[in-house]
């Protein structure tokens, strides 16, 4: 039981709740576009696929980066560097998570059985990108941003619709942006150890300017998707609230003061995801 709890801590299982709203938004909007009902089977297996995908992504990131984490004082207390978990245990978790993801696709639209290797490939790629490109933040965003697109397709909606790709873009720039904020904590370590990140390459001030532009793109993408889908006013209210939260988040950090980085990253940013995802679901009703 202790091992299970430690594995859950490794992948921050409780944070899955902040990723699910986008999958549910894609599911509800996809069912609406396909003119089908959202039934229990669709909800259950979309949820299981999302849990499997996110757990796999986190597990791969931790086990591939274990050696880097052990050298970084900020991450040296994580489960693998301290020996509370063995690499073999995390690889087993990854295998189980992959099996859950793939098995779930057999209860969803058949196209998902063909496309699941795409997000998995991005999950594997992302941890390595920080070793050779400062665009690693974008790769992370693009991989997690597949959630609403995958759920849209899982509901049987057509893949030639613009809206799910706008949501993909919006989430990619949102997540990529806050990952840049998170990376500001490791600038000196990254530079000394050859780790590529936007703050390490261009400095904190320029990196935070990029974050602001990225988050502006996020709001623009969600607004355009809402218009394209003809959503009701609730969607626009939620997007406006999310825009305010993102502005607040960005105001918390500057090149001269990063002391509130954890609050911006772990508290305010979590609510952005909930508000955006929920507003799309309510806006479709």
Model pTM?
A: 0.91
Q: What is the reported pLDDT for 19?
A: 72
What percentage of residues in the chain have a pLDDT greater than 90? 73
Q: What is the reported pLDDT for 17?
A: 63
Q: What is the reported pLDDT for 16?
A: 66
Look at the block and give the residue holding tokens 């902040």.
18
Measuring CA to CA, how many Å separate 44 from each of 24, 27, 50, 259?
Answer: 11, 11, 10, 40
Per-residue pLDDT reduced to its tens digit, 236-274: 999 999 999 999 888 887 777 666 666 666 677 778 888
Helix, strand, coil fractions of the chain, as percent rounded to 5: 80, 0, 20
Asked if 78 and 62 count as a contact pair (C-beta separation under 8 A), the reply is yes
Q: CA quadruple 270, 277, 140, 209: dihedral positive or negative?
A: negative
Q: Which of 5-14, 134-143, 183-192 has the lowest mean pLDDT?
A: 5-14
CB proximity list for 208: less than 8 A, separation 6 or greater: 180, 181, 184, 250, 253, 254, 255
Q: CA quadruple 76, 77, 80, 82: dihedral positive or negative?
A: positive
Q: What is the reported pLDDT for 126?
A: 95
Q: What is the reported pLDDT for 230?
A: 93
The residues that bridge with 257 in the sheet, in sequence order, are 254
Q: What is the reported pLDDT for 18?
A: 65
Look at the block and give the residue holding tokens 């995802």.
277
Q: Output phi, psi for 79, to 5 deg.
A: -60, -40
Q: What is the reported pLDDT for 255?
A: 74
Q: What is the reported pLDDT for 30?
A: 94
What domains does the chain contain, in order, with CATH numbers?
Answer: 2-284 (1.10.357.140)
Asked if 144 and 19 count as a contact pair (C-beta separation under 8 A), the reply is yes
CA-nearest of 266, 241, 233, 231 to 252 is: 266
Q: Which of 122-126, 228-232, 259-263 has the lowest mean pLDDT?
A: 259-263
Q: What is the reported pLDDT for 88?
A: 94
What percentage of residues in the chain have a pLDDT greater than 70? 94
**Which string of b and e fits 255-264 if b means at least 16 CB within 10 Å?**
eeebeebeeb
Q: Output phi, psi for 145, to 5 deg.
A: -65, -10
Q: What is the reported pLDDT for 271?
A: 82
d(CA 29, CA 1): 39
Per-residue pLDDT reduced to its tens digit, 54-109: 999 999 999 999 999 999 999 999 999 999 999 999 999 999 999 999 999 999 99
Computed over every residue of the chain, the mean pLDDT equals 90
Asked if 223 and 239 count as a contact pair (C-beta separation under 8 A), the reply is yes
The residue among 136 and 249 whose pLDDT is bigger is 136
């Amino acid at each position: 039981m202790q091992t299970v709890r430690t594995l859950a801590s490794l992948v921050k299982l409780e944070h899955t709740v902040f990723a699910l709203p986008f999958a549910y938004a894609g599911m509800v909007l996809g069912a609406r576009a396909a003119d089908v009902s959202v039934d229990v089977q669709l909800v259950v297996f979309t949820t299981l696929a999302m849990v499997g995908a996110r757990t796999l992504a986190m597990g791969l990131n931790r086990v591939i980066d274990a050696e880097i984490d052990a050298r970084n004082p900020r991450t040296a207390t994580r489960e693998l560097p301290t020996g509370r978990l063995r690499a073999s245990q995390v690889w087993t978790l990854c295998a189980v998570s992959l099996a859950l993801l793939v098995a779930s696709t057999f209860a969803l639209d058949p196209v998902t059985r063909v496309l699941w290797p795409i997000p998995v490939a991005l999950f594997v790629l992302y941890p390595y990108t920080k070793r050779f490109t400062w665009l690693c933040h974008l790769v992370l965003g693009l991989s997690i941003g597949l959630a609403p697109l995958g759920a849209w397709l899982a509901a049987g909606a057509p893949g030639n619709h613009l809206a799910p790709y706008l949501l993909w873009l919006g989430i990619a720039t949102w997540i990529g942006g806050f990952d840049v904020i998170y990376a500001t904590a490791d600038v000196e370590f990254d530079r000394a150890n050859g780790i590529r990140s936007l703050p390490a390459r261009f400095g904190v001030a320029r990196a935070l300017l990029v974050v602001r532009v990225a988050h502006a793109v996020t709001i623009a993408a969600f607004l355009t998707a809402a218009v394209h889908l003809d959503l009701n006013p609730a969607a626009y209210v939620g997007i406006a609230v999310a825009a305010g939260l993102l502005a607040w988040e960005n105001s918390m950090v500057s090149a001269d003061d990063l002391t509130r980085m954890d609050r911006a990253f772990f508290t305010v940013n979590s609510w952005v995801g909930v508000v955006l995802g929920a507003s799309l679901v309510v806006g479709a009703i």
